[in-house]
Amino acid sequence: MLSDIMIGQFFPGESVLHRIDARAKILMLFALILSIFLCDSRADYALLIIFNIILMYISQIPIRMYMKSLKPMFWIVLFTFIVHLFSGEGPTLLKVWIFNITWSGLSQGIFITIRLLLLILMASILTFTTSPLVLTDALESLLKPFKKIGVPAHEISMMMTIALRFIPTLINETDKIIKAQKSRGADFTSGNIMTRLKCVMPILIPLFVSAFRRADELALAMESRCYHGGEGRTRMKQMHLTRLDGFVTGGFIVFLLVLIVLRLKGM
């Protein structure tokens, strides 16, 4: 189960999405997220789904990897769907105990579910096709104008990248601890809720100890290499926009214009 969690993973490749400048990808992701929240019609969502499928195909990453990225969010998505399903107004479609399922609730639940799934998949496309180091440099570059008002651009981007980088590490560590506890006779599947919560403690304590130890080792390693933040830092690879970035960005702008036109027609 834990090995199926794909958050923070990077898959090296030579696809078009891998070769696009990371800054352009981040900006396009934010624009797509904004467009998702502006969509309110079937045509808008259908266009976004088709566009997302095209991006997944272009990335040359197996579809099963994207499906794995959805698994950790399954219960959250299901809970959100159920909440909207029973909170709609209008004619009753089906009555379940004291709750009424309406057409508006069903429609709203489907749209919110699609919206959440698209958000997860779009974020997965970014992390799957962009290495953590490149992502750090791109975030720092985008936040650089805000340094004039005191925003620590380098520190923020470094913290975000370290967090993304250590998610798979902590997941693997948790999996090892669970297997070690099971080999000692621990049972995490039987008993009531309180019993299962007590069984979690032998996992959490070693995990926290391991996380703090890794953080301390990382801090010592950075200090031993004379790391003092972004001031005076040089890069082996400089980021440059290419014709490919301009071509892809132009196509993306056309896509956004189509969404805007559909939005205006719907109004």
* Domain match, 72 and 202 both: no
The 10 Å CB-count burial string (b at 16+, else e) for 103-119 is: eebbebbebbbbbbebb
Token readout for 166 is 């250590």
Q: Which of 103-107, 133-137, 201-205, 236-240 has the lowest mean pLDDT?
A: 236-240
Please check whether residue 117 is in contact with residue 81, taking contact to mean a CB–CB distance below 8 angstroms.
no
Q: pLDDT tens for residues 44-73?
A: 788 888 888 988 898 888 888 888 888 778
97 CB-near residues (< 8 Å, 6+ apart): none
Q: Are residues 183 and 115 in the same domain?
A: no
Would you say residue 137 lies in a domain? no
Q: Does residue 135 lie within any of the structural domains?
A: no
123 and 1 belong to one structural domain: yes
125, 244: one domain:
yes
Containing structural domain, residue 224: 152-233
Residue 23 has pLDDT above 80, yes or no: yes
Residue 143 in domain: no
* 122 and 53 part of one domain: yes
Task: Write down the pTM of the prediction.
Answer: 0.74
Shared domain for 126 and 209, answered yes or no, is: no
Q: Pick 116 or 193 by higher pLDDT.
A: 116
Tell me if 199 is assigned to some domain: yes
Residue 142 falls within a domain, yes or no?
no
φ, ψ dihedrals at 99, nearest 5°: -105, 145
Predicted confidence band of residue 207 (pLDDT cuts 50, 70, 90): confident
Q: How many domains does the chain have?
A: 2
Does residue 229 have a pLDDT over 70?
no
The pLDDT value given to residue 217: 87
Going by pLDDT thresholds of 50, 70 and 90, the confidence category of residue 249 is confident
Residues 65 and 167 in one domain: no
Does residue 90 share a domain with residue 35? yes
